[in-house]
């Protein structure tokens, strides 16, 4: 298979991260170690798999999460949802690393002081290269779409555009990239798409999350652990209207302007811990009710198949109680096996 980024080389990169490891590490390991220590829960509405355990996670930690060790078969079936095999080539992986490292040094490691952030704040990156920062953000958005992460897809035109940007502007090494960009008379085409990048204050031990909105495209919305990214794939800022996006949009409305559009200097928005907690709880509430509705739908369907009619309210409540009200470790509580057991107990 040809590389989905350059479309030239064989797609020979295995274990490639969709999002840089440093970006998501603290979401899945309290000590923010990047490889092998992740414990990843995938909470899709119809996903009922075990969590993913990195290969350095201890047996005790696994027992903590699922009440036992993994079986050989389960070990074989473990899949880290944040890595992909043979979708792009090693050369492209190295090219993307240039902009990843640039963002790591310029934003991730530099912007950590929230002491002046009274709810929200804005940092202007005066001495940074906004083209490289944008290319990094584009690489994230493009990869999320390439792998259909949580169902996310860019429209055809935006995907093609971002792919062109990544191929045209990121060269084999940083020096060549920088000199190409500075000498390119068309480089400002990179700035013609409204984009916001917000860094959130998160305590070291708070569990982060990764969430990509698969419905909204005006703008496209991504939460990648500490970063909220909003991108509009048309060069028209008038339509860069916020949607509710778990309260983030109303935060943005009140805040100093975070948007970047044909900018001279790239702006990073900041949101403090208190506002971030509000976003998290709004996101969790909406996900939990979505997931619960899906469990109920499955139960209704199963009941109809078995008895020919829908279950009544009392029975549905009983099923939910059987599903939730138990001491099962979180890692197996909502696996397919346990859902079926709860269904069977409910209709007994």
**Which is nearer to Zn ion, 89 or 275 (by Cβ)?**
89
Q: Kindly indicate which of the ranges 88-96, 155-163, 169-177, 316-324 contains the residues binding Zn ion, using the contact rule CB under 5 A.
A: 88-96
Q: Which stretch binds Zn ion (CB under 5 A): 87-95, 152-160, 210-218, 233-241?
A: 87-95
**Identity of the residue, 113 or 172, whose beta carbon is nearer to Zn ion in the bound complex:** 172
The backbone torsions φ and ψ at residue 207, rounded to the nearest 5 degrees and listed phi first, read: -75, 125
89 CB-contact burial (10 Å; exposed 0-12 / middle 13-18 / buried 19+): buried
293 touches 29 (CB < 8 A): no
Tell me how far apart the alpha carbons of residues 121 and 257 are, in angstroms, rounded to a whole number.
9
CB 36 within 8 A of CB 57: yes
Pick between residue 4 and residue 48 the one whose CB is nearest to Zn ion. Answer: 4
- 4 or 158, CB closer to Zn ion? 4
**Residue 83 bridge partners (DSSP):** 17
Which tokens is 224 given? 């990648």
Task: Check binding of 224 to Zn ion (CB under 5 A).
Answer: no
Which of 166, 229 has the CB closer to Zn ion?
Answer: 166
Distance CA(199)–CA(285), nearest Å, equals 22
Contact at 8 Å (CB) between 270 and 201?
Answer: yes
- Min dist. Cβ of residue 121 to Zn ion (A): 38
Which DSSP category does 30 fall into? T
Site string for Zn ion, 89-108 (x = CB under 5 A): x--x----------------
**Binding to Zn ion (CB under 5 A): which residues in 114-153?**
none
Minimum CB separation of residue 84 from Zn ion in Å reads: 13
* Site for Zn ion, residues 2 to 61, rule: CB under 5 A: 3, 5-6, 9
CB of 130 to Zn ion, least distance (A): 25
Other Cβ atoms less than 10 A from the Cβ of 246: the count is 23
Cα gap 131→159, rounded to integer Å:
18
The interface mask with Zn ion, positions 249-288, x = CB under 5 A, is ----------------------------------------
Residues that bind Zn ion in the complex, under the rule CB under 5 A: 3, 5-6, 9, 89, 92
């Amino acid at each position: 298979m040809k590389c989905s980024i350059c479309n030239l080389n064989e797609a020979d990169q295995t274990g490639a991260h969709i999002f840089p490891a440093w970006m998501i590490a603290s979401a899945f390991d309290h000590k923010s170690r990047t490889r092998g220590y992740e414990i990843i829960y995938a909470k899709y509405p119809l996903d009922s798999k075990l969590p993913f355990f990195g290969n350095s996670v201890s047996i005790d930690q696994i027992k903590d999460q699922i009440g036992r060790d993994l079986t050989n078969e389960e070990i074989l079936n473990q899949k880290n949802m944040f890595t992909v095999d043979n979708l792009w080539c090693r050369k492209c992986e190295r090219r993307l690393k240039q902009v990843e490292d640039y963002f790591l040094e310029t934003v991730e490691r530099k912007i950590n002081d929230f002491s002046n952030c009274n709810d929200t704040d804005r940092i202007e990156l005066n001495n940074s290269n906004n083209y490289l920062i944008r290319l990094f953000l584009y690489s994230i958005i493009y990869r999320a779409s390439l792998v259909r992460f949580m169902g996310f897809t860019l429209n055809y035109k935006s995907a093609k555009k971002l792919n062109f940007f990544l191929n045209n502007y990121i060269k084999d090494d940083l020096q060549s990239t920088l000199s190409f960009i500075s000498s390119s008379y068309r480089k400002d085409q990179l700035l013609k798409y409204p984009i916001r990048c917000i860094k959130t204050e998160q305590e070291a031990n708070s569990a982060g999350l990764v969430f990509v909105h698969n419905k909204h495209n005006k703008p496209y919305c991504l939460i990648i652990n500490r970063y909220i990214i909003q991108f509009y794939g048309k060069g028209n800022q008038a339509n860069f209207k916020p949607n509710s996006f778990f309260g983030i949009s109303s935060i943005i409305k009140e805040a100093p302007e975070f948007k970047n559009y044909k900018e001279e200097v790239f702006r990073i928005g900041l949101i403090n811990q208190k506002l971030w907690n509000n976003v998290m709880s709004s996101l969790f509430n909406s996900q939990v009710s979505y997931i619960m509705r899906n469990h109920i739908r499955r139960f209704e369907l199963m009941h109809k198949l078995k008895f020919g009619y829908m279950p009544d309210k009392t029975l549905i409540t009983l099923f939910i109680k059987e599903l939730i009200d138990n001491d099962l470790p979180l890692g197996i509580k909502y696996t397919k096996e346990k859902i079926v057991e709860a269904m069977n107990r409910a209709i007994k």
